[in-house]
Amino acid sequence: MSTKDRILDAALTLFSENGYDGTSVEQIADFVGIRAPSLYKHYAGKEEILNALIDTAQAHYEGLFGSEINIGKVPESGEEFIRTSMSRISFTIRDPVIRRTRMLLVQEQFRNERIAGITTMHQLNGIQRMYARILEEMMKKGLVREDDPVQLAVEVTAPVVLLIAKADRQPQSVKETEESIERHLRHFCAVYMKK
């Protein structure tokens, strides 16, 4: 891992534990095992580290989870919808970079306008638009009964976002949370998928 990457990893750990304001450049440098002046060879300061961290985490998330633009393969059945959704959810809950980034976003969303926008996109708008597209495509294939895909996306994603937040607060409940989410997805499919 390069020094730049080690700096980002250290910053993510410290920001997610102590908050952005509660973390100094010196603490980041100490965590990496370098002196603060050496850190400035890689980043101009804490804000540049935060921005690089957000950009890196966002690219990582969208590459493995998907996005409104990149919904991936449209499921061919309710079971495939559940399987692909659970794979995305498991990644979201278990990936250490995404989990720490989410903890940082939740803490800092009230202090930083960019972070507020990113938090809203990942926990509300972006995920709902992505699932609206998936459900709309599944409707076109005759797999989901005709309905408002935007409203269905809200119905399927909102409980999941709340349950993921619970898993963040109570890491010992990850398995239970995934089981609850899968039950929710199965119920959603039982109600909206065509037989």
pLDDT, tens digit, 9 for 90 and up, residues 168-185: 999 999 999 999 999 999
Question: Does residue 1 carry a pLDDT above 90?
Answer: no
Upper half-sphere CA count for residue 125 (Cβ side, 13 Å): 6
Coil, strand or helix at 10: helix
CB atoms inside a 10 Å sphere around CB 53? 22
Kindly indicate the confidence band of residue 158, based on its pLDDT and cuts at 50, 70 and 90. very high
Question: Does residue 195 carry a pLDDT above 80?
Answer: no
Spatial CB neighbours of 71, under 8 Å, sequence gap ≥ 6 = 130, 133, 134, 137
pLDDT, tens digit, 9 for 90 and up, residues 87-141: 999 999 999 999 999 989 988 899 888 889 888 888 889 999 999 999 999 999 9
In this prediction, residue 69 carries a pLDDT of 87
Backbone angles phi, psi at 180, to 5 degrees: -65, -40
Q: Give me the mean pLDDT over the 18-34 stretch.
A: 94
Upper half-sphere CA count for residue 101 (Cβ side, 13 Å): 26
Measured distance CA(63)–CA(57) in Å, rounded? 10
What does 154-173 look like in DSSP terms, one character per residue? Answer: HHHHHHHHHHHHHHHH-GGG
- Asked whether the beta carbons of 89 and 5 are under 8 A apart, the reply is no
Q: Report which secondary-structure segment, H or E, holds 128.
A: helix 126-140
pLDDT, tens digit, 9 for 90 and up, residues 63-77: 889 888 889 999 999
